[in-house]
């Protein structure tokens, strides 16, 4: 009866590794046992030494030394007094890690294979919740494998809401939205110039690229230039040119390729930034000639020369040009 109650409550105890190999000490009382189960331990997504971890009488026993050291703490065992001392003050990072707070940006980075990122971007569009989450996971999945923490702190479905320009509102392109976040994480305070660069490229690029021809569902699709970061304009323009509905399989294939294309460009942008710093990015964005004069009178700070406006969008597709 006693045993049943314990196992149902799934009580978790932490145990200390001692000099006696193969045995562990449960903290809630003395409890010697031979290691019999294989229990895996992940600290912030990374495997730590789990020698001696086991489930005993419904209690999961985990060697405290390896877990505590992975969290940056120092562990001491005093055999004479049978005392385990854990000191988190020993290393600076320990306090922050213990609260589960990821570090400030920029996060550690690794160069990734662009073909692998493209393929994941394309495939994840269908398997992991469309554009925003596909672009996000194409990069973050590989960073989790190559770098681990802190990329392991981002949940799989963080960007589900981004699809269709945020729950199909057609506002910001989902891939751009999650890519901007990745740039912020990888570039820290320099993110605005990189995001400007990405958005400018997106507005001018002939989507989709041809790098998916050997495995995509609809090879050789026609391309359009969105001239806007808005999902509404990007998708509607392409769909009309292709003569298909925005809900069609052809359009999905186009947006799957676009998810990969945005991921690859973002990757290359961040790689360049991590090598060269921000010098080659500052000042790379300027309004295209079609609407640079609009911004001269319609500024964000004044109503004297013309009604104030907000944003870096090309005005002409929506407003035309009243000065001509
Ligand atoms: C020389 C300055 C100047 C330039 C350049 C200019 N505007 Fe204007 N714009 C104005 C002023 C002044 C008004 C207010 C007119 C009014 O109240 O009758 C205005 C009004 C507008 C309005 C409000 C609606 C309307 O028609 O009253 C829009 C929208 C607009 N401009 C868009 C644009 C766009 C787009 C461009 C570039 C293609 C542009 N403007 C270029 C000065 C300018
Ligand atoms: C995606 C379409 C779109 C783009 C791009 C866009 N606008 Fe607008 N803008 C609108 C709409 C819609 C309104 C609201 C019009 C209304 O209801 O009065 C508006 C409002 C404005 C207004 C306030 C006056 C008004 O007509 O209400 C100004 C000024 C203006 N836009 C200027 C610009 C300028 C300059 C640019 C380019 C830098 C620009 N817009 C880009 C769609 C757009």
User: Cα(52)–Cα(60) distance, rounded to whole angstroms?
Assistant: 11
Q: What is the model's pLDDT at position 319? A: 96
pLDDT for residue 109: 94
**Which numbered ligand comes closest to the C-alpha of 305?**
1
pLDDT at 77: 84
Return the sign of the alpha-carbon dihedral for residues 321, 202, 130, 177.
Answer: negative
**Cα end-to-end distance, the chain, whole Å:** 88
Residue 312: closest CA among 295, 324, 296: 295
* pLDDT tens sequence across 72-120: 777 788 888 888 888 765 444 444 454 568 888 999 999 999 999 999 9
Averaged pLDDT, 293-297: 94
Q: How far is CA 24 from CA 6, 40, 53, 54, 60, in A?
A: 19, 15, 8, 9, 11
List CB contacts of 299: < 8 A, sequence separation 6 or more.
305, 306, 308, 309
Q: How large a percentage of the chain has pLDDT more than 70? A: 84
| 307 in contact with ligand 2, CB cutoff 6 A | yes
Q: With contact defined as beta carbons under 8 Å apart, do 221 and 253 qualify?
A: yes
313 lines ligand 2 (CB under 6 A): yes
Q: For 129-147, what is the mean pLDDT?
A: 96
Q: Is the CB of 315 under 6 A from ligand 2?
A: yes
Ligand 2 atom nearest the C-alpha of 307 is: 29
Tokens of 36: 């019999």
Q: Output the six-digit token pair for 104.
A: 């400030």
Over residues 202-259, the pLDDT tens digits come to 999 999 999 999 999 999 999 999 999 999 999 999 999 999 999 999 999 999 999 9
Whether ligand 2 lies within 6 angstroms of the CB of 294 is answered as yes
Residues 164, 173: Cα–Cα separation, whole Å: 7
CA distance 297 to 303: 9
User: 248-291: per-residue pLDDT in tens?
Assistant: 999 999 999 999 999 999 999 999 999 988 888 876 788 989 99
């Amino acid at each position: 009866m006693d045993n049943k109650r314990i196992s149902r409550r799934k009580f978790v105890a932490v145990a200390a590794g001692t000099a006696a190999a193969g045995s562990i000490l449960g903290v809630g009382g003395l409890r010697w046992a031979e290691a019999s189960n294989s229990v895996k331990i992940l600290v912030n997504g990374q495997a730590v030494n789990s020698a001696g971890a086991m489930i005993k009488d419904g209690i999961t026993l985990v060697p405290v030394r390896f877990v505590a050291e992975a969290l940056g703490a120092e562990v001491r065992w005093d055999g004479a007094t049978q005392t385990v001392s854990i000191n988190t003050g020993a290393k600076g990072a320990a306090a922050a890690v213990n609260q589960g707070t990821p570090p400030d940006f920029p996060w550690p980075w690794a160069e990734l294979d662009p073909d692998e990122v493209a393929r994941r971007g394309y495939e994840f569009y269908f398997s992991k919740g469309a554009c925003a989450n596909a672009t996000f996971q194409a990069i973050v999945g590989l960073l989790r494998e190559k770098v681990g923490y802190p990329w392991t702190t981002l949940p799989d479905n963080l960007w589900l809401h981004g699809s269709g320009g945020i729950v199909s509102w057609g506002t910001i392109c989902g891939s751009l939205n999650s890519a901007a976040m990745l740039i912020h994480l990888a570039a820290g305070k320099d993110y605005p110039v990189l995001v400007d660069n990405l958005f400018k490229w997106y507005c001018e690029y002939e989507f989709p690229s041809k790098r998916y021809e050997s495995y995509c569902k609809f090879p050789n699709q026609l391309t359009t230039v969105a001239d806007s970061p808005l999902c509404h304009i990007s998708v509607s323009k392409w769909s009309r040119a292709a003569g298909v509905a925005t809900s069609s399989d052809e359009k999905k294939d186009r947006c799957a390729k676009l998810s990969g294309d945005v991921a690859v460009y973002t990757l290359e942008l961040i790689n360049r930034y991590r090598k060269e710093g921000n010098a080659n990015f500052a000042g790379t964005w300027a309004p295209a000639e079609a609407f640079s004069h609009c911004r001269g009178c319609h500024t964000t700070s004044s109503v004297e020369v013309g009604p104030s406006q907000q944003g870096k969008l090309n005005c002409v597709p929506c407003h035309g040009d009243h000065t001509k």
